[in-house]
Structure 1
């Protein structure tokens, strides 16, 4: 019989009794950062929720905030010098404001690296979130229609 180790467990957001919800885990991450990265993550989270009020928050891959609506919209990773929003299907999105500034070489994802001194174009980010959710919904409808 195989012993189950932490690395073998599914990385999704299933909760056991007494475990924190994905939203509570994101709250805790914002609180523990205690610097501009926490403030930035909180701000982009608020913008995502404004753009897509029915967004579902998840906590995956051992500590990555994920926002979903008919599939992953984006993830919010924090590093020493950047908060990175990676859009799962970003390469398929129009980006008229030029927010994508990272992971530009791939065929699927695109990312926005936000540095400490950067000002977030809030309306452009919300438009990108709405476009990503709409793209996911269209793909979901297409799958269900066969």
Structure 2
């Protein structure tokens, strides 16, 4: 499922594919693996392409982004501060009131089950907020 196309006529999923291929190194491998885990955790996730080149995953609201920098792939959860993180995955952006991030460096181990649990929790949080908004408007 995709939302909107770019001026190039490419879908968000195609743009993410191109970004992974363009990186062509460990960052592309990590971004590709994170993307696969997000899709495993939530088969109904919507891929988007925002802010001039940032992969975004949404379901009833923004779940997370996948930003790539020279030395890190940063997975930022939009409402991370509201999520339980019993495995201690969040290691970045810990001071804010809303977002939390996980920085993956070259050679990083990904705790796949814990990450999928975090994605599912973010979807559940978005869905519960969406349901409460719809009941208030009725």
Q: TM-score, normalised by structure 1?
A: 0.89
Compare CA radii of gyration and give the structure with the larger one: 1
Matched, 1:26 2:25: no
TM-superposition CA deviations, 1:38-96 (whole Å, max 9, x none):
00000000000000000000000000000000000000000000000000000000000
Distance 2:7 2:64 in 1: 27
- Matching residue of 2:130: 140
In structure 2, runs of 5+ residues without a counterpart are none
The number of aligned residues is 134
In structure 1, runs of 5+ residues without a counterpart are 1-12
Query: How large is the Cα RMSD of the aligned pairs?
Result: 1.2
**TM superposition outliers: structure 1 runs of 4+ over 6 Å:** none
Q: TM-score, normalised by structure 2?
A: 0.94
